[in-house]
Amino acid sequence: MKKHNDNVLRKVYGYFLPEAWKTSKGYFMVRIAKMLVVAGTPFINIYFIPAIVAELMGEGRIRRLIFLVATMVLLEFASGIANGVLNNVIERYGQYFENHFKMILSKRIMELDFQLTEDKKALDQLELAKNGMSWYSGGLNGLLDPFFSLLSNVLTLAGVVTLILTNTPMILVIAGAIVAVSTLISSRLNKIEQEGYKQLGKINRVFGYLGWSLVDFRYGKDIRLYDSKDMMVEKWKFFTEAFNRENRDIANKQLPFLLLQNGTQVIHDVAAYLYLGLLAIFGKISIATYIQMGNSTGTFTNSLKNIVILLQDMIKKSNYANEYVTFMDYPAAMPKGTKPVKEGKHVFEFHKVSFTYPGSEVEVLKDVNLVIHEGEHLSVVGLNGAGKTTMVKLLCRLYDPTKGEILMDGTNIKEYDYEEYMKVFAPVFQDFKLFAFTILENLMLKEAQDIGAEDAVARKTLEKVGMREKVDSFKNGIHTVLFKQFEEDGIEPSGGEQQKLAIARALIKDAPVVILDEPTAALDPIAEYEIYKHFEELVKGKTAIYISHRLSSCQFCDKIAVFSEGNVKEYGTHAELVHKPDGIYAEMFAAQAQYYVEG
């Protein structure tokens, strides 16, 4: 356990301290200033009160007394003000860092291997990471408050130990023994608290779930139609009671130890003052020293106790923040190569490729063999669930095959540099997403100020996909924001319009391979045919893959691959397949012919 805690401390502080230092040196300056103020404050009393007493009992010079009292008060005041101001600055930094660490978490999520986005363990870890960096640990400030307080206390401790050693070293023995006992008691208190938290953790998760479900509109339909409001509220009450019970339990278990803890304080005070008193009575020390040492030993035990408490606090918070660090270091799901991708067109080959989705038992692709030649236009058809989209996801390396391999220009795609490989494809997936940014930003995927004159490309492409006129009709033209999440005057494009924008985005990427996964099922076969036909003109000269369970795309493609039950059952040109006796394609074509023959 101890070793584990050491490792976690090292890992968490080893991650956050350098990361915070890189982000803001100013923050550390403020932290160090506060550390010095906090470390120095106890010495104001330790120095001035005995000096005032000595003056009172000695010469009693009024001017000197006024000077001492005034300086002490001023210093106390200044330290209070400095502390307040520094705390305020630190607080604001805390919010800044909260956003900062959220941002790098988001960045990490976006870089995560896609298949991990469906991996329960990775998703759980992400949840833990988010919570671990928020109120559980208190974020960066939550981690660094005890860290810097600990340093302050170490400085204070070093100061008083020096003072005590030069005057009444025996006091250290008394104080040390008391702190040792008190530490044992605190560790017991902590253990009770942590065991309690484990129980509370579960209750909190249920609370979290209930809280979200109650306010999440997506549950709204079910809550109303199944009249589940009362059940939700009952559950809420039930868990509130459990929560209170658990809290009461923790408090009850802690009470005797808290009383003992207070007892040790009393014993310490009695022993220390008795010893110092005897020294003073027998003339071994002056009254001023008596006061100074009394004060110092109090500060000594306080600092030592604080150090222990702060260390325990650091361990507790590190255990939460560790979830964040673990997520940031989450192992990649896929090996990544380094081979550069050559310019121009490519040939792809699926060689005995089988695939099972992570966490599933069903093999959705079985021993697929398929070649996609340079510049070829391939139509991939088959019923829903045949494995067409999966084939494309493997080609784009969102997943790796479970068996077999995919080659590009004769080399396994795993060997290529991942980012370069991603540049080869411009897919429009069925469930493509546009962002709640401007149309221009959605097309160029750059910040508006970085686009500059390139916006001409965007306008031209909008024209090609038949969206120019529509976009120009908006008040803000190409700078119109999509959706209404942030902007009152954002627009809500229709499904077809969104698809055209997604296609424009794919064309602007200007990648050698364009993939169009079947346009929304809401489109009728004729509209779908129109999209494909139009698209075909737009991607002349590139490799193109069209996926559909309808045959709209087939007639103008070079090759057709017919998927069924996870395999390529037929492959050839339209002319070759359309009359094949008992052929799947021939049958599908006959069934759907009514849509295409006449036109």
Q: Which is nearer to ligand ADP, 132 or 387 (CB)?
A: 387
Q: Which is nearer to ligand ADP, 15 or 399 (CB)?
A: 399
- Provide the minimum distance between the beta carbon of 554 and ligand ADP in the complex, in angstroms, as a whole number: 15
* DSSP per position, 508-574: HHT-SEEEEPPP-TTS-HHHHHHHHHHHHHHTTTSEEEEEESSSTTTTTSSEEEEEETTEEEEEE-H
- Provide the minimum distance between the beta carbon of 220 and ligand ADP in the complex, in angstroms, as a whole number: 27
Distance CA 203, CA 158 (A): 44
* CA angle (490 as vertex; 489, 491 as ends), nearest 5: 115
- Provide the minimum distance between the beta carbon of 560 and ligand ADP in the complex, in angstroms, as a whole number: 14
Reading phi first (left if > 0) and then psi (alpha if -120 to 50, else beta), residue 19 is in alpha
Longest dimension (CA), the chain: 122
Q: Which is nearer to ligand ADP, 87 or 360 (CB)?
A: 360
| Residue 416 DSSP one-character state | B
* CA angle (126 as vertex; 121, 131 as ends), nearest 5: 125
Closest CA to 574 of 583, 582, 565: 583
Distance CA 312, CA 394 (A): 48
Q: Which is nearer to ligand ADP, 100 or 366 (CB)?
A: 366
- Provide the minimum distance between the beta carbon of 128 and ligand ADP in the complex, in angstroms, as a whole number: 23
Reading phi first (left if > 0) and then psi (alpha if -120 to 50, else beta), residue 556 is in alpha
- Provide the minimum distance between the beta carbon of 399 and ligand ADP in the complex, in angstroms, as a whole number: 9
Q: Which is nearer to ligand ADP, 346 or 393 (CB)?
A: 393
Residue reference for tokens 């909190």:
204
- Provide the minimum distance between the beta carbon of 388 and ligand ADP in the complex, in angstroms, as a whole number: 4
Distance CA 274, CA 299 (A): 17
Reading phi first (left if > 0) and then psi (alpha if -120 to 50, else beta), residue 478 is in alpha
Structure tokens at 533: 């036909």
- Provide the minimum distance between the beta carbon of 392 and ligand ADP in the complex, in angstroms, as a whole number: 8
Q: Which is nearer to ligand ADP, 561 or 577 (CB)?
A: 561
- Provide the minimum distance between the beta carbon of 182 and ligand ADP in the complex, in angstroms, as a whole number: 56
Q: Which is nearer to ligand ADP, 246 or 367 (CB)?
A: 367
- Applying CB under 6 A, which residues contact ligand ADP? 118, 357, 360, 364, 382, 384-390, 563
Q: Which is nearer to ligand ADP, 292 or 548 (CB)?
A: 548
Distance CA 321, CA 326 (A): 9
Q: Which is nearer to ligand ADP, 147 or 429 (CB)?
A: 429
Q: Which is nearer to ligand ADP, 9 or 531 (CB)?
A: 531
- Provide the minimum distance between the beta carbon of 115 and ligand ADP in the complex, in angstroms, as a whole number: 9
Structure tokens at 106: 């988001």
Contacts 24+ apart (CB under 8 A), 274-278: 275/168, 275/170, 275/171, 275/174, 276/168, 276/171
Q: Which is nearer to ligand ADP, 147 or 350 (CB)?
A: 350
Which residues are bridge partners to 547 per DSSP? 380
CA 37, 38, 40, 41 dihedral sign is: positive
| C-alpha of 411 from chain center | 35
* CA angle (585 as vertex; 583, 586 as ends), nearest 5: 65
Do the strands 348-356 and 567-572 form a parallel or antiparallel pair, or are they unpaired? unpaired
- Provide the minimum distance between the beta carbon of 356 and ligand ADP in the complex, in angstroms, as a whole number: 8
- Provide the minimum distance between the beta carbon of 386 and ligand ADP in the complex, in angstroms, as a whole number: 4
Query: Which amino acid, residue 138?
Result: G
- Provide the minimum distance between the beta carbon of 393 and ligand ADP in the complex, in angstroms, as a whole number: 7
Residues written for the chain: 599
Q: Which is nearer to ligand ADP, 358 or 490 (CB)?
A: 358
